[in-house]
């Protein structure tokens, strides 16, 4: 259970990457197996959305693997409705703009302020982890 603090610290230091999400998932699965936390399918789906969101930020900065493509969520996200809900929320709050959904499975959008976008994603991640671990 203490291992999750490593990732909370990375979030606090603005050093958390999309590649850290699978590592968090392993910790969450292990802690759930030990009975320390409850970890549901919706949690997994939300972490997929966080992965996609972080990948898009990393693309903007030019720091992502060649297998990641702008707007292509199909390789990462299983639940389109959850992705759409979060992106609609971010658009409403002006975290992203010019959102366009392509029938081929693309979510194209602009990130007007990368720092604000990163902070928003990190806040969602931190709150989600704190909720899972019942931290205040």
Reduced to 3 states (helix: H, G, I; strand: E, B; else coil), residue 16 is: coil
pTM over 0.85: yes
Measured CA to CA in angstroms, residue 57 lies from 17, 37, 49, 83, 88 at distances of 9, 29, 13, 15, 17
| pLDDT, the chain, mean | 87
For the segment 98-121, the average pLDDT, to the nearest whole number, is: 87
Identify the band that residue 103 occupies on the pLDDT scale cut at 50, 70 and 90: low
Question: Domain tally for the chain?
Answer: 1
pLDDT: which is higher, 106 or 65 = 106
**Contact predicate 63/16, CB 8 Å:** no
Q: What percent of the chain has pLDDT over 70?
A: 88
Residue 10: predicted pLDDT: 95
Give yes or no for residue 74 having a pLDDT over 80. Answer: no
For the segment 25-32, the average pLDDT, to the nearest whole number, is: 94
Two tokens, residue 117: 């976008």
Q: How far apart are CA 13 and CA 45, in angstroms?
A: 25
For the segment 43-63, the average pLDDT, to the nearest whole number, is: 88
Residue 77: predicted pLDDT: 83
Give the range of the structural domain holding residue 59, as residue numbers without chain letter. 4-132
Q: What percent of the chain has pLDDT over 90?
A: 62
Give yes or no for residue 95 having a pLDDT over 90. Answer: yes
Two tokens, residue 31: 């802690």
């Amino acid at each position: 259970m203490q291992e999750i603090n490593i990732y909370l610290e990375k979030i606090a230091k603005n050093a958390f990457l999309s590649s850290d999400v699978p590592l968090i998932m392993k910790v969450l699965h292990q802690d759930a197996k030990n009975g320390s936390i409850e970890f549901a399918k919706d949690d997994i789906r939300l972490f997929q959305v966080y992965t996609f969101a972080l990948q898009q930020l990393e693309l903007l900065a030019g720091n992502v693997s060649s297998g990641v493509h702008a707007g292509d969520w199909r390789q990462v996200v299983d639940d389109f409705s959850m992705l759409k809900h979060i992106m609609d929320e971010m658009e409403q709050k002006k975290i992203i703009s010019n959102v366009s959904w392509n029938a081929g499975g693309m979510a194209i959008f602009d990130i007007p302020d990368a720092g604000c976008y990163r902070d928003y994603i990190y806040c969602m991640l931190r709150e989600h982890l704190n909720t899972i671990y019942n931290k205040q």
